[in-house]
Structures are given as structure tokens and as C-alpha cells.
């Protein structure tokens, strides 16, 4: 038993302080992303979520430039970008992907500028891979309260709006006829999404964070037709992918031939994709039998 465990988990995994911090932070973010992501997928806002995270890279790099912690950059710019998308109509079905695209283009432009300035004036090139691809191992335990606080805010928004948000996601018309202020509810949700995306940016990096947001939720939606269950399942899948990804990244230090650690984000993203494909196969198997 001990030998088997050692074969799967390389020594030192559970004892390492960085791993414990990463597991706690990654776990919080994974659960929040899974729960919030269900609505992102139902509302077909995967592109908006992805754009927010990409734009987050501009925030991360600008925060570095002015000497702030990247998290504030991520949160600040994601919320700003969400507001801009709301203004130019991300909630309308028609033309919203163009609106998202234009905001994203501006975000990229800023990111390229800030990264360039960072490299030129601060010799910050070591930070770029962290901002773009993230590394949960570089976070410190002192980040935990802040991450948990922001995650709680996002969850609180979605739990408070749960019923009107679900109704408006099924049909904005139906919700409006019941007196729901559809645009207000959608805007509040976009805010929760921006916060969630910023948290994902921190753990698996600005350009990969969509994986945690969209993948587990989409996999869960294939497996269950009940809204509560889908949310819980998505959180579970997200958590499993994150922790397994951490374990594999730890193990990869010992893998031949390089004996060079592989990026955590790579494992998390790959596991998420596998979960999505497996959920699809499982769902198809069920319908064939049923």
C-alpha cells in the first residue's frame, strides 16, 4: 500500500508548504469557478469570460508596472472590462461577440504595451510567463484570505440572484414579464464573472483561466438536467482537475528524461478537456441505453 502510494505520489507532496498553499488556494478558486461557470455556459458567455481573463493579462502586467500585487490588477481591469462590455451590449444575443471582440482587442493592445514597458524599464521578463500562464505554486499563504473573500463575494452575488438569474437565462422575455430587471441581473452576474475570472487568472494564468470556468461547467451540463446538481457537479469536477493537476505537476519533477517540472496549468487544462470529452461520451452512452 505504502509502495503503491509512493508510486503515484512522489515523496514530499503532502508535507510541502507550497503545495499546501497551492492546494488551498487552487481549491477555493476551482469551486468558485465551477459554480459560477454553470451560468456562464448556460448564458453562452464563454467568449465574454475568456475575453475578461485575457484582458486580465493587461491588468496583471500593469499592476506589476506600478508595483501592485497582480491580483489587484486582475480584479480591477476585469471589472472595468465587464462594465465596458455591458455598455456596448454583451447581453444582447446579436452582435455581442463583436462587442466582446472589440473590448478584447483593446485589452490585448494594452497588455502588449504594459508587458513591453515592463520588459524595457523594469527588466520584468521573468514575470511574463507567470502573468500569462500563471503558477499556483508561486502564491503565498497570505493571499488566502483575500482570495477567499473575493470568492465569497462572487458566490454571494450568484446565490442572491439565483432564481431571477436562472429564469432570465432560460428566457429574458419570461423573466421581464415577471418584473425581473433582466439587464440589472445580467450586469450583476457579469461582475461576479469578472471577479471569478480574476481569481482564475491568478491560479492558472490569464490565458488559461477559461478552462476552469467553462470546462467543468460544460461537462456537468452534459451529465445532469437539474440546475443545483449541475452546479455542485461542476464544482466537484473543477476541484478534482485542479488537485490532480497539482499532484501531476509535483510528480513531473521526477519524470525522465528531463527531470524538469512541467507547468501546473498544462495539467489542469488537459484534465479539464478530458473531463469534458468523458462527460460527452458518458451522456451519449446514457441516451443510447435509455
Partner 1 sequence: MVNAWIVASLAAVVGGAVGFFVVMRGASFVAHAIPNGSFAGAAGATLVGASTIAGLGIFSVGGALGIGLLGRRGRRDVATALTLVFMLGLGALFLSLSAESSEAAYSLLFGEVLGISANEIVPTLALAVASLIVLGLLWRPLLLDSVLPERSSGRRLLAVDLAFLLLVAMTTTMTVPVVGTTLIFTLMIAPAAAARALTARPGVALALSSAVALVTVWGAIALSYTTNWPVGFFVGALGACAYAASHAAARSGDGGPGRTAGRG
Partner 2 sequence: MSDEPQSTLTHAVPERAEPQVAGETVLELAGVTVELGARRILDDVGFRLKAGELTGLIGSNGAGKTTLLRVILGLLEPTRGTVTVNGADVGRSVGYVPQKFMLDPDLPVRARDLVALGIDGQRLGVARPSRERRERVARMLGAVGAADFADARVGRLSGGEQQRVLIAHALISHPSLLLLDEPLANLDLHSARAVVELLARIAREQRIAVMISAHEMNALLPVMDRVVYLADGRAACGRAEDVVRADVLSRLYGHRVEVIRAAGRVLVVAGEGDDAEPTHPHHLDAEEH
Residues 284 and 147: their CA atoms lie apart, in Å, by 37
* E-assigned strand segments in the chain: none
CB of 280 to partner 1, least distance (A): 6
Cα R_g (the chain), whole angstroms? 19
Select the span of 29-37, 97-105, 123-131, 168-176 touching partner 2 (CB under 8 A): 168-176
Closer residue to partner 1 in complex, CB, 12/173: 173
Residues near 201 by Cβ (< 8 Å), separated by ≥ 6?
53, 56, 57, 59, 60, 70, 74, 78, 134, 209
Residue 38 binding target from partner 1, partner 2, none, CB below 5 to 8 Å by type:
partner 2
CB of 284 to partner 1, least distance (A): 8
Q: Is 203 in the site for partner 1 (CB under 8 A)?
A: no
Residues 217 and 45: their CA atoms lie apart, in Å, by 12
Q: Please give the size of the binding site for partner 2, defined by CB under 8 A.
A: 32
Query: Contact 216/13 with Cβ under 8 angstroms?
Result: no
For 61-84, b where at least 16 C-beta lie within 10 A, e where not — what string? Answer: bbbbbeeeebbbbbbbbbbbbbeb
Q: Please give the size of the binding site for partner 1, defined by CB under 8 A.
A: 54
Q: Is 175 in the site for partner 2 (CB under 8 A)?
A: yes
Q: Is 243 in the site for partner 1 (CB under 8 A)?
A: no
Q: Is 211 in the site for partner 1 (CB under 8 A)?
A: yes
Q: Which of 237, 246, 247 is nearest to 272 (CA)?
A: 237
Residues from 36 through 95 that contact partner 1 (CB under 8 A): 41, 44, 46-47, 49-51, 54
Q: Is 274 in the site for partner 2 (CB under 8 A)?
A: no
- Residue 155 burial (CB < 10 Å; 0-12/13-18/19+)? middle
- Residue 4 burial (CB < 10 Å; 0-12/13-18/19+)? exposed
- Contact with partner 2 (CB under 8 A) among 160, 253, 274, 285: 160
Residues from 133 through 172 that contact partner 1 (CB under 8 A): 133
Q: Which stretches of the chain bind partner 2, using CB under 8 A? A: 38, 42, 44, 159-164, 166-167, 169-171, 173-181, 220-222, 224-227, 229-230
Q: Which stretches of the chain bind partner 1, using CB under 8 A? A: 41, 44, 46-47, 49-51, 54, 97-98, 100-102, 104-106, 108-113, 115-116, 119, 125-126, 128-129, 132-133, 205, 207-208, 210-211, 214-215, 218, 222, 258, 260-263, 265-266, 268-270, 272-273, 276, 280
Amino acid at each position: 500500500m505504502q509502495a503503491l502510494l509512493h508510486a503515484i505520489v512522489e515523496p514530499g507532496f503532502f508535507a510541502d508548504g507550497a503545495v499546501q498553499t497551492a492546494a488551498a488556494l487552487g481549491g477555493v478558486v476551482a469551486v468558485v469557478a465551477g459554480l459560477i461557470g454553470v451560468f456562464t455556459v448556460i448564458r453562452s458567455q464563454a467568449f465574454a469570460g475568456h475575453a475578461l481573463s485575457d484582458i486580465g493579462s493587461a491588468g496583471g502586467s500593469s499592476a506589476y508596472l506600478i508595483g501592485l500585487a497582480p491580483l489587484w490588477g486582475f480584479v480591477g481591469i476585469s471589472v472595468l472590462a465587464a462594465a465596458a462590455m455591458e455598455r456596448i451590449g454583451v447581453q444582447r444575443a446579436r452582435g455581442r461577440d463583436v462587442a466582446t471582440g472589440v473590448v478584447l482587442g483593446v485589452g490585448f493592445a494594452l497588455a502588449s504595451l504594459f508587458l513591453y514597458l515592463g520588459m524595457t524599464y523594469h527588466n520584468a521578463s521573468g514575470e511574463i510567463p507567470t502573468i500569462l500562464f500563471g503558477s499556483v505554486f508561486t502564491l503565498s499563504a497570505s493571499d488566502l484570505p483575500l482570495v477567499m473573500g473575493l470568492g465569497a463575494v462572487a458566490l454571494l452575488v450568484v446565490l442572491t440572484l439565483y432564481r431571477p438569474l436562472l429564469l432570465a437565462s432560460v428566457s429574458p422575455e419570461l423573466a421581464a414579464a415577471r418584473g425581473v430587471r433582466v439587464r440589472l441581473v445580467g450586469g450583476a452576474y457579469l461582475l461576479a464573472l469578472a471577479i471569478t475570472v480574476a481569481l482564475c487568472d491568478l491560479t492558472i494564468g490569464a490565458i488559461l483561466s477559461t478552462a476552469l470556468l467553462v470546462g467543468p461547467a460544460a461537462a456537468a451540463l452534459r451529465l445532469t438536467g437539474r440546475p443545483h446538481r449541475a452546479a455542485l457537479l461542476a464544482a466537484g469536477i473543477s476541484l478534482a482537475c485542479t488537485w490532480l493537476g497539482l499532484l501531476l505537476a509535483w510528480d513531473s519533477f521526477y519524470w525522465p528524461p528531463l527531470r524538469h517540472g512541467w507547468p501546473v496549468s498544462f495539467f489542469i487544462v488537459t484534465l479539464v478537456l478530458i473531463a469534458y470529452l468523458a462527460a460527452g461520451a458518458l451522456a451519449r452512452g446514457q441516451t443510447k441505453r435509455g
